[in-house]
């Protein structure tokens, strides 16, 4: 398909214009016009780009792109190398940050909620006046069972603060670095909150509030969106789409 076709479809499907984001969502680097092979990954980096070149990719789609409001890089060092690889090999780079957290079909958070087997899934977690996470319910499942499921399906090395009830009924999920949003889970009376990262003060807060808290890894919780989006594109347009895993323990 043509680059503009893919760009228009992704922007519409992921509703990128609806989000107030620190990232520039959509096409970040323009490459060749014809798209036959797409590589997906969590974060834009040299290793991912080099792998995409080996795979003869025409486009790369990531969750964490290279254009952010809080960064004003010059073309030097690693940033220069990233741009150079894309331009010299005529590869398109797409980045979708909050749109790929919040999407109701292929988003990171809805996919995690589904993997955990939650029912009655609905939007949760306001950020910049937008819901970016999801919450759902069990019928009072044993906490140990749920925590084991997280280790099995998301991250065996997840950091877990098991200070909630023995039986879990309600769960909130916001992937990535949303540890502070645990306060929203507490205000809503949820039994468990799952995100990617954790700060030092969170342990005492969740212990005192009596809620289970899981930091299952920023990378680990944010690979589900690009995986699901890649499968969606492959099925809809019959394109060759391949996910490239560049593991990150954070």
70 touches 97 (CB < 8 A)? no
Sorted by sequence, the CB contacts under 8 Å of residue 226 that are 6+ apart come out as: 40, 41, 42, 61, 62, 63, 100, 243
In a domain, 248, yes or no: no
Contact 65, 100 (CB under 8 A): no
Beta bridge partners of 213: 161, 193
Q: Are residues 112 and 213 in the same domain?
A: yes
| Owning domain of residue 27 | 3-101+223-243
Indicate if 37 and 91 belong to the same structural domain.
yes
In a domain, 7, yes or no: yes
Please tell me whether the overall predicted TM-score, pTM, comes out greater than 0.75 for this model. Answer: yes
- Our count of domains for the chain comes to 2
Task: Tell whether 61 and 134 lie within a shared domain.
Answer: no
Q: What is the pLDDT of residue 216?
A: 98
Same domain assignment for residues 132 and 212: yes
pLDDT digits (tens, 9 = 90+) for 62-120: 999 999 988 777 778 988 999 999 999 999 999 999 999 999 999 999 999 999 999 99
Copy the structure tokens of residue 220. 């680990």
Which two structure tokens, joined as six digits, stand for 207? 């212990």
Is the domain of 45 the same as that of 11?
yes
137 within 8 A of 171, measured Cβ to Cβ: yes
User: In angstroms, rounded to a whole number, what is the distance separating the alpha carbons of residues 28 and 26?
Assistant: 6
The per-residue pLDDT for range 122-175, each reduced to its tens digit, is 999 999 889 999 999 998 999 999 999 999 999 999 999 999 999 999 999 999
Q: How many residues does the chain have?
A: 250
Q: Is residue 205 domain-shared with residue 128, that is, in the same domain? A: yes
- The answer to the question of residue 75 being in a domain is yes
């Amino acid at each position: 398909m043509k680059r503009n076709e893919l760009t228009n479809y992704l922007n519409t499907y992921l509703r990128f214009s609806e989000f107030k984001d620190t990232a520039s969502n959509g096409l970040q680097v323009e490459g060749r016009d014809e798209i036959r092979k797409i590589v997906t990954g969590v974060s834009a980096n040299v290793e991912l780009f080099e792998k995409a070149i080996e795979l003869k990719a025409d486009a790369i789609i990531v969750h964490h792109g290279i254009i952010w409001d809080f960064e004003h890089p010059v073309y030097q060092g690693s940033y220069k190398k990233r741009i150079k690889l894309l331009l010299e090999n005529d590869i398109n780079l797409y980045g979708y940050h909050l749109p790929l957290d919040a999407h109701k079909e292929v988003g990171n958070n809805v996919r995690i909620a589904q993997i955990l087997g939650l029912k009655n899934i609905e939007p949760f977690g306001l950020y910049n006046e937008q819901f970016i996470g999801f919450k759902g319910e069990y019928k009072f499942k044993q906490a140990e069972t749920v925590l084991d499921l997280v280790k099995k399906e998301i991250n065996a090395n997840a950091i877990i603060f098991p200070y909630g009830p023995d039986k879990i009924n309600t769960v909130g999920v916001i992937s990535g670095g949303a540890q502070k949003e645990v306060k929203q889970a507490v205000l809503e009376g949820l039994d468990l909150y799952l995100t990617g990262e954790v700060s030092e003060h969170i342990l005492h807060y969740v212990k005192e509030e009596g809620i289970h808290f899981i930091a299952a890894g920023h990378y680990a919780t944010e690979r589900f969106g690009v995986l699901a989006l890649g499968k969606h594109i492959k099925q809809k347009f019959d394109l060759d789409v391949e996910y490239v895993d560049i593991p990150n323990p954070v």
